[in-house]
Amino acid sequence: MSNIRLENQKIENSIKEIARYLFKEKKVDVIIGYSNGTVPLSTMPIFVRNEIDINKLVWNNLCYANLAKYLAPRVPQLKDPDDNNLKVGIIAKGCVGRALIHLIIEKQINLNEIKIIGIHCNGIINRKRIEKEIGEKEILECFILNDDIVIKGRNFEQKFPFHEYLNELCKTCKIRSPPKSSPLLNVIIGESQEITFLEDEYTEIVEFDAKSPKEKWRYIKDLLSNCIRCYACREACPMCYCNLCFVDQNKPIWFGKTTELSDIIVFHLVRAIHLAGRCVSCGACSSVCPMGIDLHFITRKLEKIVKERFNFTPGLNLETLPPMMSFSMEDEQEFMLDED
């Protein structure tokens, strides 16, 4: 068994052990986790309601969904017959933990109604990149062997270097487990990570900023030209929880709903602005995009601006309010112009 497979097995065993404890002690009514998908290169969320189904829980490098999405707002399966919230245990890698923290700050989650099953994530595979390179051939099996991702199908077998084919965000991720803070000491069970400051070089954004305006515009057009407006990115994002999205409003109609490039670009740029100071770099938007677009690139640009302007990183602790929820007289206001 390779180190990666051994790590995955240890993480999965830890998840199941904690899940059994939480059910036995009646600390949760349901646990949200990952289960095997119906096709290779996939997993799916699962709601476990009793000890019998705990063995359905899995962990591997295809667990790309941000499970915090199911808590804001709560889906019907997480409520009792009287519409009261159930006590929920939720499996959380670093980015899921960050999303939960930020949603608690935004008062979308009650801290007393959740238990966080913390794990140390060892990276998520960029399945869209693999599918693109495989082409039209049908994938029948996927597994990790030594340091390779092995893909098998009818009459073919192909290997991909594991660390090279991780999501770009996973390659540089420094928050592998849910961030630890005082209010969460009795909420997080399992792995957690003490972190007060996050250094990020934003290498890909620095390269983008060095381009000319025409080159930047060409890059954005090329990036979004294949978008089909399916809104999978919105549905996967834990921070997209509005009852009525600006896209769906009829009064007023903010912009067209066509697949014309101008409408596509407006949708993604406005959505990115809504995520300023809120995106937790989980990459769920890119992972679910059927066209394989690296959508997180746009929110990374906003993330860099928020970091430079306010020295803020979303989801690190419960004590620091996000820039969009706070105000300081020392905030820069370089957009204000003095009269001559």
Kindly state whether residue 236 falls inside one of the protein's structural domains. yes
- State the pLDDT at residue 329: 75
Kindly state whether residue 179 falls inside one of the protein's structural domains. no
Kindly state whether residue 149 falls inside one of the protein's structural domains. no
Number of domains in the chain: 1
- State the pLDDT at residue 2: 59
Contact between 283 and 175 under an 8 Å Cβ cutoff? The reply is: no
- State the pLDDT at residue 339: 64
Tell me which DSSP letter residue 70 carries: G
- State the pLDDT at residue 112: 94
Q: For residue 184, give every residue at least 6 positions away whose Cβ sits within 8 Å of its Cβ, in sequence order, or none.
A: 101, 111, 116, 178, 192, 318
**Which residue range is the domain that position 283 belongs to?**
203-325
Kindly state whether residue 113 falls inside one of the protein's structural domains. no
Kindly state whether residue 100 falls inside one of the protein's structural domains. no
Q: Which residues of 270-286 are buried (b: 16+ CB within 10 A; e: fewer)?
A: ebbebbbbbbbbbbbbb
The structure tokens listed for 135 are 């082409």
Determine how many CB atoms are found less than 10 A away from the CB of residue 289: 20
Distance (Å, whole) CA 85 – CA 111: 12
Quickly tell me which residue has 């007023």 as its tokens.
252
SS3 112: helix
Q: Pick the closest to residue 283 from 118, 103, 96 (CA basis).
A: 96
Give the orientation angle of helix 213-224 with respect to helix 296-310, to 10 degrees.
Answer: 130
- State the pLDDT at residue 338: 66
Kindly state whether residue 297 falls inside one of the protein's structural domains. yes
Alpha helices in the chain (DSSP H): 3-24, 94-105, 127-134, 168-172, 203-209, 213-224, 232-236, 261-274, 284-288, 296-310
- State the pLDDT at residue 149: 95
Kindly state whether residue 94 falls inside one of the protein's structural domains. no
Distance (Å, whole) CA 28 – CA 113: 8
Kindly state whether residue 241 falls inside one of the protein's structural domains. yes
- State the pLDDT at residue 1: 45
Tens digits of pLDDT across the chain (340 residues): 458 999 999 999 999 999 999 999 999 999 999 999 999 999 999 999 999 999 999 999 999 999 999 999 898 889 999 999 999 999 999 999 999 999 999 999 999 999 999 999 999 999 999 999 999 999 999 999 988 999 999 999 999 999 999 999 999 899 999 999 889 999 999 999 998 778 888 888 999 999 999 999 999 999 999 999 999 999 999 999 998 888 888 888 878 888 899 999 999 999 999 999 999 999 999 999 999 898 888 888 899 999 988 889 999 999 988 988 887 777 777 666 666 5
Determine how many CB atoms are found less than 10 A away from the CB of residue 216: 14
- In angstroms, the Cα distances linking 23 to 48, 185, 231 are 10, 19, 36
Task: Dump the DSSP string for 86-97.
Answer: PPEEEEE-HHHH
Q: For residue 145, give every residue at least 6 positions away whose Cβ sits within 8 Å of its Cβ, in sequence order, or none.
A: 2, 5, 159
Quickly tell me which residue has 């030209």 as its tokens.
225
Distance (Å, whole) CA 98 – CA 118: 11
Distance (Å, whole) CA 277 – CA 210: 23
Q: Pick the closest to residue 59 from 122, 116, 151, 1 (CA basis).
A: 122
Q: For residue 280, give every residue at least 6 positions away whose Cβ sits within 8 Å of its Cβ, in sequence order, or none.
A: 66, 95, 98, 99, 102, 238, 239, 314, 315
The angle at the Cα of 75, spanning 70 to 78, to the nearest 5 degrees, equals 95
Distance (Å, whole) CA 302 – CA 193: 25
- State the pLDDT at residue 60: 95
